[in-house]
A = this chain, B = another copy of it.
Amino acid sequence: MAALTEFELIARFFRRPGRSAVLGVGDDAALLQPAPGCELAVSVDMLVAGRHFFADVDPESLGHKTLAVNLSDMAAMGATPRWALLAGALPQARPEWLAAFAHGFFALADAHGVELVGGDTTCGPLTLCITIIGEVPQGRALKRSGAKPGDAVWVSGALGDAALALAHYSRDIELSSAELATCERALQRPNARIALGERLRGVASAAIDLSDGLTGDLAHVMEESRVGARVRLGAIPRSAAMEARLRGSYREVALRCLLAGGDDYELCFTAPPERTAEVEALGRELGLEMACIGTVTEGSTLTIDDETGHRLERVPRAFDHFAE
């Protein structure tokens, strides 16, 4: 098959009839008409092969995940995602790879009504960069800075399974094939909690999505809100695979995965205690496990109590992209 030019590539896989955009892919810029009374929430994420994903990962899953991690930022703001731009460096132009990537990307985009309105492709080490733009009613966005002492700390869904899959690959832990399948799904097919974020507007006092790991991400909320937090390890939702490792000889690895593994894309948020019943009802309505894992405190310290009520001595910290 003859090599496709860059422009043919874009046209073939990523140009689709415009929907909500005034002008989509194919001009110097997309033209967007934001809804009146809304602010725009805008975020960018860059994913590098060998660091955020394996270079030989299934391209359809990669297409899904590349968008999912950005949708997750919208969920964390309580924003409704509307438009995305995709820039990618690719080592070569392989039509089958691109078709599968586009399939995974657009399946998720369509599920959330997100339109791809711009992009850039170039040759280079496999790197993907997504910009996501969402809308949120003016003044109603969920920020990191609103947590107050006394608020409850909540988490949606089980944490650490994506990190368990990675720990299995690196032979730090061994999962059964059934456990691995569950953990791989968490790693490769995360779901952004868009509906939850939208419904938390006016309920949550602060929110963040768990991309770097619970301790690190919660620390961002604490810093922006100038508060501390006290978390009960036993209250953090986890899978059966995680629970088994926490009770066994791989407890240290499991703790690191649960508290600092990252790649969870669940929401961590705070809400005044009087909103507890509301949050629980929301969880039932959306079919999401909503766990109250602790309390916002005065000060600036993150304390984690283990299952016996003792303070955890060493709190695993979040992944830092330049720390290794």
Contact = CB atoms under 8 A, between A and B. Distances in A.
Contacts of A143: 23, 27
B48 A40 contact: no
A79 interface: yes
Contacts of A92: 322
Interface string A1-44: 00111110100000000000011001111111110100111111
A27 B224 contact: yes
A28 B51 contact: no
B323 A5 contact: yes
Interface string A83-100: 101111110110000000
Interface residues of A, number: 75
A78 to B, nearest CB: 10
Interface of A: 3-7, 9, 22-23, 26-34, 36, 39-48, 50-52, 73-74, 76-77, 79, 83, 85-90, 92-93, 117-125, 127, 129, 131-134, 136, 138, 141, 143-145, 207-209, 224, 320-324
30 contacts: A3-B323, A5-B320, A5-B323, A6-B323, A9-B322, A22-B39, A23-B141, A26-B144, A27-B224, A28-B208, A29-B76, A29-B79, A30-B41, A31-B39, A31-B40, A32-B42, A44-B86, A44-B120, A44-B131, A45-B87, A46-B87, A46-B122, A46-B127, A47-B122, A48-B89, A48-B123, A87-B129, A93-B322, A123-B321, A129-B129
